[in-house]
A and B are shown apart, each in its own frame.
Chain A
Amino acid sequence: MSSTAVDTHGHGHAHDQHDAHHGPRGIMRWITTTNHKEIGTLYMCFSLVMLFIGGGMAMLIRLELFQPGLQFFNPSFFNSMTTVHALIMVFGMIMPAFAGFANWFIPLQIGAPDMALPRLNNWSFWLLPFAGIMLLMTLFMPGGGPAGGWTLYPPLVLQTGDAFPFAMFAIHLLGVSSILAAINIIVTIMNMRAPGMTLLKMPMFTWTWLITAYLLLLAMPVLAGGVTMLITDRFFGTSFFSAAGGGDPVLFQHIFWFFGHPEVYIIILPAFGIVSEIIPTFARKPLFGYAAMVYATASIAFLSLVVWAHHMFTVGMPLGGQLFFMLSTMLIAIPTGVKVFNWTATLWKGSLSFETPMLYALAFLFLFTLGGFSGLMLAMVPADIQYHDTYFVVAHFHYVLVPGALFGVFAGTYYWLPKMTGHMYDETLGKTHFWLTTIFVNVTFFPQHFLGLAGMPRRIPDYATQFTDFNMISSIGAFGLGLSQLLFVYVIVKCARGGPKASAQVWEGAHGLEWTVPSPAPHHTFDEPPVVK
């Protein structure tokens, strides 16, 4: 949708960039494409569709929670909504959105003509729609969709009806897609950097994606293993997780969170990268402590592999285990703090302007930090005993995922949309979208802290009457948040169709190779590598 490079032929470019698109037209062009920009666009369009499907489910959840009593759905359907909402948003929305940015901008940022493995790239994308459709189909199967939570804890998940194998296979496909994309990104960054672009000269977005890709390679196969064990427990008579057969239900939780915690950083690190691109651009000042930022990102990634059981403080771990996971979790606050301080120091004595991407980056800075604070509180094991599985946790992870990861996606979209479409987006509408979204995000999720502290468990379709008021506020916020996103689509469509011509540099303070190619970026760029000094 946003890639119209082919139709608007650029004129008189240097020999290393040309627009010509050869090959099939129409739908076959998109199915067979191996062009990194087109695949990036496909990823982003898929992600946008999933944002609305997952968001629609969130609105149904908030509709049922608007007041006590069951008004609209039975509890099973409610549970499948929370489960599928999470799976869609994590695997179908946030991850593909960042994979889309990776496809578009990693080659442009490192001066490569395309991804290293273009056909694999095509396949990693085209697995997604099938996996997504299979996952959504499960909602219409006998016994309903998966309703045991996105964490898939056995034995409950094994009670899923006919949907079980389909949901598991969908997760396998999503995992394969991510692993292939990760391999491609690593190979591209390691082999195809322009002459002179040493690792420590790479833009932060490329750096964070490199680290993310390694995390994906480490984490996704573990999830695949856990899911496979669930399948064999259900269909082939094994007892990995069944106590009655000598297995261990807690083993699954360890496996799941060994994937699940790195996954949290897989989701947030690319957003760190995007924000690290945007803040220097609009502060007109280089990123403060670039090397420290790289090392902090790598430390976060390393630590994310040794903190998984902080999701399991109530399972009955021995004291030593609880202490270890508490301390390792608290350590993450140090590199994360470094990142926040460095972004703030980049603002310090800059020359700031507040276009939509910058507004989103600043909101990210404020609200992600807030999510970080509640994360620190959750790390304290004794306090976590009270917070665990309440709305406090729901508030915490939505603060890091929505104004964290999702705002990273919004910021990146506004930042790079002129490069992708060749037009400036409508700044007034962009800012309106920003303010509506930011206000409603807080109306939705801030009261959930109070609900959790007051004792409301998560994943319940109905609640005691003392929780009514904050639930109403939260639901009103959620409806506003959902509806505001229609404006986002309108801004993108409007920008793709036309608007003031964007210059190659687009933003006054922008630096980096992606701003040296014309806007829209031609179909093929950097046929001859640029030289980085």
Chain B
Amino acid sequence: MKNRKRFLPRALAISGLASAGPAWSDLALNMTPGVTAMSREIYDLHMLTLWICVVIGVGVYGVMVYSILKFRKSKGAVPAKFTHSYTVEVIWTVIPALILVLMAIPAARTLIRMQDTRGSELTIKVTGFQWRWQYDYIDDGVRFFSTLKRDSNAARKLGSGIDPNTVEHYLLDVDNALVVPVNTKVRLLVTASDVLHAWWMPAFGVKQDAIPGYINEAWFNAETEGVYRGQCAELCGMDHGFMPIVVRVTSRDEYNTWLSSQRTQTSSLAQAQ
């Protein structure tokens, strides 16, 4: 198989840190800030929590390591006799409580903004199917399915012999992307037709479960044009790993052109039927 060939150099690159370079270039270590105000807020909250944990960790692990190095029987340490201390115990109950309050305030603020779907300019209904997405621009009469692109679909078959590294955007590309205008508050109505799915776009900070019988709301306002990729995030059966999400954020004009071309297609389809 072809992909065996890239295997060894890669494995070697991993085992020898010295040979870092191209092999490490795509190693993402952290969340990305994304392209919406909400995703950046989430990122900041994530970093804040992370740093608080790091600071507490340095303190707690520091004391543990110090104790392990210092109070060794082999070094002749004699055990102390104390069994408790109300003062310290109260301190280390109250201080964490205060830190938690400090963390809860920004989290609650962001959460309240996240839930505010008012004032949207475009509403798109997103329906999860086993195993593709359907997008319905309910005010514009445009509706289409979005399915894993063919080259990925061929390569991902068991024993296909196709090296995934040769497929562009392997598993993260679709035939028909969702297209939205830039700097527009887009409201999503998320539901499912068969089992649970979840519509996740990391760059927008949106993850919303798609549940049969429910219409869940989510929203985003993308500030940078480009193509963004995500995946279904709720186990939905055999091909759960193969129903990606692609959103193309375009200028207002480009969006209008795209929309009218879609309208023509949809109406000619309707006539043909």
Contact = CB atoms under 8 A, between A and B. Distances in A.
Interface of A: 67-76, 79, 147-149, 153, 155-156, 159, 243-244, 247-250, 283-292, 314-316, 319, 322-323, 326-327, 330-331, 333-334, 337-338, 340-342, 344-345, 347-353, 362, 365-366, 369-370, 373-374, 376-377, 380-383, 385-386, 388-390, 450, 453-455, 457, 459-466, 468-470, 472-473
Contacts of B162: 69
Contacts of B100: 330-331, 333-334
29 contacts: A69-B164, A74-B158, A79-B237, A153-B235, A156-B195, A156-B235, A243-B212, A243-B213, A248-B213, A286-B83, A316-B216, A331-B100, A337-B92, A337-B93, A344-B60, A344-B64, A349-B77, A369-B60, A382-B42, A385-B114, A385-B207, A390-B233, A450-B29, A454-B29, A455-B28, A457-B231, A461-B241, A466-B28, A472-B14
Interface stretch (B45-53, B119-127, B136-144): B45-53
B118 interface: no
Contacts of B238: 74-76, 79, 147
B61 interface: yes
B107 interface: yes
B93 A353 contact: no
Nearest to B42: A382
A330 B103 contact: yes
A289 B89 contact: yes
Interface residues of B, number: 103
A457 B57 contact: no
B171 A462 contact: yes
Given A249-B213, A390-B233, A454-B28, 20 more contacts: A69-B3, A69-B163, A70-B158, A155-B195, A159-B195, A244-B212, A244-B213, A284-B73, A290-B84, A326-B104, A334-B96, A338-B92, A347-B67, A369-B60, A377-B50, A381-B111, A382-B114, A388-B207, A459-B240, A469-B14
Determine chain B's interface SS by DSSP, over half rule: mixed
B119 to A, nearest CB: 17
Contacts of B213: 243-244, 247-249
Interface in B204-260: 205-209, 211-214, 216-217, 230-242
A344 B240 CA distance: 44
6 nearest A-B residue pairs (beta carbon):
A243-B213, A460-B241, A316-B216, A454-B28, A349-B80, A347-B67
Nearest to A316: B216
B79 A350 contact: yes
Contacts of A331: 100
A7 B112 CA distance: 68
Nearest to A340: B60
B18 interface: no
A234 to B, nearest CB: 14
B78 interface: yes
Nearest to A362: B68
B200 A457 contact: yes
Contacts of A337: 92-93, 96
Interface of B: 3, 7, 10-11, 13-14, 23-24, 26-31, 41-42, 45-46, 49-50, 53, 56-57, 60-61, 63-64, 67-68, 71-74, 77-85, 88-89, 92-93, 96-97, 100, 103-104, 107-108, 110-112, 114-115, 155-160, 162-165, 169-172, 190, 194-196, 198, 200, 202, 205-209, 211-214, 216-217, 230-242
Contacts of B170: 68, 464-465
A51 B156 CA distance: 31
A131 to B, nearest CB: 24
Contacts of B64: 344, 347, 362, 365-366
B44 to A, nearest CB: 10
A390 B30 CA distance: 13
A450 B27 CA distance: 8
Contacts of A382: 41-42, 45, 107, 110-111, 114, 205
A462 B241 contact: yes
Nearest to A285: B79
B10 A469 contact: yes
A284 B79 contact: yes
Determine chain A's interface SS by DSSP, over half rule: helix
Which of B46, B190, B241 has the largest count of A CB atoms less than 10 A from its CB?
Answer: B241
B53 A373 contact: yes
B79 A351 contact: yes
A350 B72 CA distance: 8
B138 to A, nearest CB: 19
Nearest to A155: B195
B206 A376 contact: no
Contacts of B164: 68-69, 462, 465
Which of B232, B233, B239 has the largest count of A CB atoms less than 10 A from its CB?
Answer: B233
Contacts of A71: 158-159
B217 A316 contact: yes
Nearest to A158: B195
Contacts of B72: 351-353
Given A285-B80, A333-B96, A250 B214 contact: yes
A81 B208 CA distance: 26
B23 to A, nearest CB: 7
A460 B107 CA distance: 30
Contact of B104 (A283, A327, A365, A374): A327
B42 A352 contact: no
A81 to B, nearest CB: 13
Contact of A457 (B56, B111, B205, B232): B232
A377 B89 contact: no
Given A466-B28, A469-B26, A326 B214 contact: no
Contact of B49 (A290, A362, A369, A377): A377
Contact of B171 (A292, A326, A334, A464): A464
Contacts of A292: 84, 89
Which of A148, A370, A465 has the largest count of B CB atoms less than 10 A from its CB?
Answer: A465
Contacts of A352: 67-68, 71-73, 77
Given A362-B68, A386-B31, A315 B211 contact: yes
Contacts of B194: 155
Nearest to A156: B195
Nearest to B108: A323
Contacts of A284: 73, 79
A347 B80 CA distance: 10
A473 B195 contact: no
Contacts of A459: 235, 240-241
